[in-house]
């Protein structure tokens, strides 16, 4: 039996992301990030395939991604607002981790299970940042789904895709929690 961990349970009952737009420097150190990434890699993973990987994006890399997003958005014919959203995600960020789904061919774990494990890695990374006292948010946005961006900005292999960008930093302002679903709406108890 695992030991009860009320502090961990309390964290899970109260955790909330911090809007990426409000995140500012300072950001976690490399040593802190290594701890968070170790936690993120400790997720259920059928077959032990590690079907995900992490690309840590420091400030100069984020500036480069902002430039690529602006160029891609223009090439795709997006309007200024949409280009600005894609570019701004990187232009205003001080630190982000791109979580990359890197599926393997496996008899044991179909791709959907590998995708679920990748989502779990994203949540664990957000939670590890929050539990370390940093603000964090999991964002996608159109650059996450644009193949040209993924290849030019992140050099992804053909089978890989972006599960999300986890932005981290110091919260600029306190925000209230968002509404959470009522249990009676989402839970069915089956006694027999």
With binding defined as CB under 6 A, does residue 138 bind ligand FMN? yes
Angle between helices 30-40 and 111-131 (to 10 degrees): 140
46 among annotated binding-site residues? yes
Please, what is the end-to-end C-alpha distance for the chain in angstroms? Answer: 27
Residue nearest to ligand FMN (CB): 17
Q: Which of 16, 104, 110, 147 binds ligand FMN (CB under 6 A)?
A: 16
178 among annotated binding-site residues? no
Structure tokens at 175: 């925000």
Nearer to ligand FMN, 35 or 115 (CB): 115
17 among annotated binding-site residues? yes
89 among annotated binding-site residues? no
Nearer to ligand FMN, 5 or 145 (CB): 145
Can you tell me whether residue 41 is helix, strand or coil? Answer: coil
CA pair distance 135, 137, nearest whole angstrom: 7
With binding defined as CB under 6 A, does residue 93 bind ligand FMN? no
Structure tokens at 170: 């110091």
139 among annotated binding-site residues? yes
Structure tokens at 40: 């993120």
Closest approach, Cβ 22 to ligand FMN, in A, equals 11
CA pair distance 182, 192, nearest whole angstrom: 23
* 3-state percent helix, strand, coil for the chain, nearest multiple of 5: 45, 15, 40
With binding defined as CB under 6 A, does residue 162 bind ligand FMN? no
Annotated binding site for FMN: 15-17, 42, 46, 138-140
Q: Which residues bind ligand FMN (CB under 6 A)?
A: 16-17, 137-141, 164, 178
């Amino acid at each position: 039996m695992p030991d009860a961990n009320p502090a961990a349970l309390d964290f899970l009952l109260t955790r909330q992301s911090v809007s990426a737009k409000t995140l500012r420097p300072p950001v976690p150190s490399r040593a802190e990030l290594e701890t968070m990434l170790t936690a993120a890699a400790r997720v259920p993973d059928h077959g032990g395939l590690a079907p995900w990987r992490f690309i840590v994006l420091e400030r100069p890399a984020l500036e480069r991604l902002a430039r690529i997003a602006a160029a891609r958005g223009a090439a795709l014919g997006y309007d200024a607002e949409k280009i600005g959203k894609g570019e701004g995600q990187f232009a205003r960020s001080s630190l982000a981790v791109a979580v990359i789904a890197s599926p393997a061919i496996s008899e044991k774990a179909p791709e959907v299970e590998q995708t679920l494990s990748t989502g779990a890695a994203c949540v664990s990374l957000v939670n590890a940042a929050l539990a370390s006292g940093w603000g964090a948010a999991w964002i996608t946005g159109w650059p996450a789904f644009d193949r040209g961006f993924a290849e030019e900005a992140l050099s992804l292999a053909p089978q890989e895709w972006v599960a999300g960008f986890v932005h981290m930093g110091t919260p600029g302002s306190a925000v209230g929690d968002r509404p959470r679903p009522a249990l009676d709406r989402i839970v069915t108890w089956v006694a027999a």
